[in-house]
Amino acid sequence: MATTNATAPKGAPKKSQGFTGIKSGFSVILVCFIIAEALYVFGAGHMSNFHAEGVTGFHFFQSQEYEPAGIVGTVYKGGFIVPLIWTQFIAVIALAIERAFAIRTANGKGSLGKFAASVKSALKQGDVQKATDLCNIQQGSVANVVLAALTEYKKQQGEDLELEKKVLAIQKTVEEATALEMPMMQENLPIIGTIVTLGTLTGLLGTVMGMIKSFSAMAGGEGGANSAALSVGIAEALVNTASGIATGAAAVIAYNFFTNKIDRLTFAIDELGFTIVETFKTTQK
């Protein structure tokens, strides 16, 4: 991760700073739960979403006693599982935005492709200082790793060691610098990956609970099923099914999108690290 100048060792390469992500995923989920619960109770549960003549405003959970007047009221009938699914959906959106800023910081200020091409061109010309200057301009995780490798490159040029040991030192520097940058890029992605499965399972739980209500309504009452209770159970099942699928789908899209972005960053790091090592081998022979 990026370090401040105050904590960086003397003589260490200057690393870029910027947004490195939210460290506490639990805090994000907690805030999302509060938002989801407020939307469910004060939004979907408002009496205007139900057929309740003479009743206006908000009444704590009394909305369950009335028939829904539209899709919002039907969603409210989904029960307590609905805000749990909404929590996960909002968390996916929030963490996706957070990851977008973090990955943007990791990419740096300019085009990553152009940066990689410029660094390789500078190294091909033997201009290590120009490559270093490009890293200071680009900034970001890739530039940080390359900058650390170039610093070690310059250091090893003055060392009286075997070529193989010098190359190993540069490779080790690249690996260590990459290991420091990867946590920032992958922060909170495991949470999104968990929601991929958890969102669908939570929706399935709501579906089962709704179907239980439906079957109970079919078995109860004199002379046949209780149609009102039956419709409530079916509505709960369908709403939770749809919400769970939507949440799982959003999580899959976000997870795969950012995983692909990180793969591109790591590929650029590996490519430039290999170029630096090979250039060193060539110039030291």
For 47-85, the pLDDT digits (tens) are 777 776 655 555 555 556 677 777 777 778 777 888 999
Question: How far apart are alpha carbons 221 and 218 in whole angstroms?
Answer: 8
Domain with 232, as residue range(s), is: 25-284
Whether 31 is covered by a domain: the verdict is yes
* Cβ–Cβ < 8 Å for 246, 89: yes
Domain count, the chain: 1
Residue 256 amino acid letter: N
Whether 13 is covered by a domain: the verdict is no
Helix or strand holding residue 201 (H, E) = helix 189-219
Read off the pLDDT of residues 120-138 as tens digits, 9 standing for 90 and up: 888 888 888 898 999 888 8
Cα-Cα-Cα-Cα torsion 248, 252, 254, 256, nearest 10 degrees, comes to: 170
Select the highest-mean-pLDDT range: 77-81, 87-91, 163-167, 181-185. Answer: 87-91
Whether 10 is covered by a domain: the verdict is no
Give pTM, 2 decimals. Answer: 0.79
Whether 8 is covered by a domain: the verdict is no
Whether 261 is covered by a domain: the verdict is yes
Whether 6 is covered by a domain: the verdict is no
Measured at the CA of 30, the angle between CA 24 and CA 34, to 5 degrees, comes to 150
Whether 16 is covered by a domain: the verdict is no
Q: What long-range pairs does 164-168 form, CB within 8 A, spacing at least 24?
A: 166/280, 166/284, 167/277, 167/280, 167/281
Q: Return the number of other C-beta atoms located less than 10 Å from residue 246's C-beta.
A: 16
Does the pLDDT value for residue 113 go beyond 50?
Answer: yes
